Amino acid sequence: MKQAVVVGHRGACLVAPENTFSSLEKAIALDVDVVEFDVRPSKDGILYVIHDATVDRTTDGTGRVAELLSSELDVLDAGSWFGPQFVGEPVPRLDAFLDACKGRIKAYVEIKEGDAGEIRDMLATRGMLEDAWTFSFDQSILAAARAHVPDLRRMVLYKHVGSVDRAVAQGAHILEFHSENVAPELVEEAKVAGLVTQMFYDGRDREIFERAIRCGVEQMNIDHIDIFRSVEKDLLAQA
């Protein structure tokens, strides 16, 4: 039994506002291996790290990201909704966010909207491409990444592809499971096929974490980092 790679979902999103520099720094302080974050372009084509299509939930502004200029996004407060100690936290521009990651933590980029080629080039110029990967719920974005930037590693979801064979046929590098479909035989089949196995779980149920570990999942995309590590430590001690 090996320790899993820990992916901080939107950074350390339970102790700092998601998808911000503070969330990134907290993840690094927790010795997280990879930071997962979301990307969207502004109206004038600047890529930002933000999850929602609108800024309403996580900033003091309102409106769709795609309809706001970078000059408007740059002055938003993306921290006060989470806590007073984060007042003035900006919505990160992707280039600055990657600069803060470089040499410190690996990157998993979920493309909500945007050009996979541009993101690939931003990773490459910083020497981060080899260890990074991407995913999108927008199948046209994944298809474009596969066709035009094959050296940008791609993840697919088991619930989307339905089998390991289909993940391989789509040129995936990483196959992500969820609590309802993770199983030891599927994880092993994926590994034999040359895929990296990952599981997403934003809950705190120790039994689910234990099941993922016993299934041999290699990477965990999670919110509750401390709980997972506690479960993993206990199981490793028993091995």
In this predicted model, what pLDDT tens digit does every residue of 151-201 receive, in sequence order? 999 999 999 999 999 999 999 999 999 999 999 999 999 999 999 999 999
Fold of 5-238: TIM Barrel (3.20.20)
In this model, does residue 239 exceed pLDDT 90? no
CA–CA separation, 164 vs 86, rounded Å?
42
In this model, does residue 1 exceed pLDDT 90? no
Residue spans of the domains in the chain: they are 5-238
Cite the beta strand spans of the chain per DSSP E: 5-9, 34-41, 47-49, 106-111, 133-135, 153-157, 174-177, 196-201, 219-222
pTM: 0.96
- Cα-Cα-Cα-Cα torsion 126, 148, 41, 20, nearest 10 degrees, comes to -40
pLDDT confidence tier of residue 2, bands split at 50, 70 and 90: confident
In this predicted model, what pLDDT tens digit does every residue of 41-93 receive, in sequence order? 999 999 999 999 999 999 999 999 999 999 999 999 999 999 999 999 999 99
CA–CA separation, 218 vs 10, rounded Å?
19
The closest of 2, 8, 16, 10 to 33, measured between CA atoms, is: 8
Residue 178: strand, helix, or coil: coil
Per-chain mean pLDDT for the chain: 97
